[in-house]
Amino acid sequence: MDLVKLHDKQFKLAISPEQVREAVSEIAWKINRDFSGESPLFLSILNGSFMFTADLLKEIKIDCQVSFVKLSSYDGSASTGKVKELIGLSENINGRSVIILEDIVDTGTTLECLVKQINQHSPKQVRIATLLLKPEAFSGIIHIDYVGIEIPNDFIVGYGLDYNELGRNLEGIYKIIE
Ligand code: IMP
Ligand code: MG
């Protein structure tokens, strides 16, 4: 299935499920190495990161916890530049190592906002892992510790990412056909 139609737009396969799996395994391998002997808290940003989080966590071999926050900055196929908090932080993160899990870093606004909020609760350290990064859109203000795949500045869907809520269930990643 190389072409899909969601609402009014067509998308074509850009990153295969196998490539996604390899990128997820590589990130898991690095986190297992870097956090050996620690017990980090994974903080996953809903909705988009649910699939990345589930697949990554299956490959994490160290003790860990997982929790979720829900943030939203996209409307349709464009960033609004504003971040809405829909479900907030419920964990005590004082003195903890926190690893934020993001599906994709675009401008970086969502993460800047979350990192600022987390830092007010005195964590031991905050690291960021993202499956995808759009370097051309990224402000570069915060440091991303683990990047799966760098992609061009195209709108994409699949593997958790949506176009107006459709496409999250796709196993591969698809880019919009303009
Ligand atoms: P940022 O705040 O601009 O970095 O945007 C990050 C959030 O916007 C991501 O967590 C996604 O939920 C969403 N997003 C960014 N780019 C795309 C895309 O190409 N397709 C679908 N959602 C996207
Ligand atoms: Mg997201």
Average pLDDT over residues 59-79: 87
Q: Which residues sit with their C-beta closer than 6 Å to ligand 1?
A: 45, 48, 73-74, 79, 102-110, 155-157, 161
- Round the average pLDDT of the chain to a whole number and report it: 94
Confidence check: pLDDT of 57 > 70: yes
Per-residue confidence (pLDDT) for residue 40, from 0 to 100: 98
Q: Read out DSSP for 67-130?
A: EEEEEEEEETTEEEEEEEEEE---S--TT-EEEEEEEEESSSHHHHHHHHHHHTT--SEEEEEE
Per-residue confidence (pLDDT) for residue 73, from 0 to 100: 77
Confidence check: pLDDT of 78 > 90: no
Q: Which two tokens stand for residue 96?
A: 């903890």
Q: Read out DSSP for 38-78?
A: ---EEEEEETTTHHHHHHHHHT--S--EEEEEEEEEEETTE
Catalytic-labelled residue, pool 55, 103, 106, 162:
106
pLDDT (tens digit, 9 = 90+) per residue, 132-146? 999 999 999 999 999
Confidence check: pLDDT of 84 > 80: no
Ligand 2: centre distance to CA 161 (Å) = 7
Tell the residue nearest (CA) to atom 20 of ligand 1.
Answer: 156
Average pLDDT over residues 146-170: 98
Asked about 55 being catalytic, the answer comes back as no
Q: Which two tokens stand for residue 111?
A: 């993460």
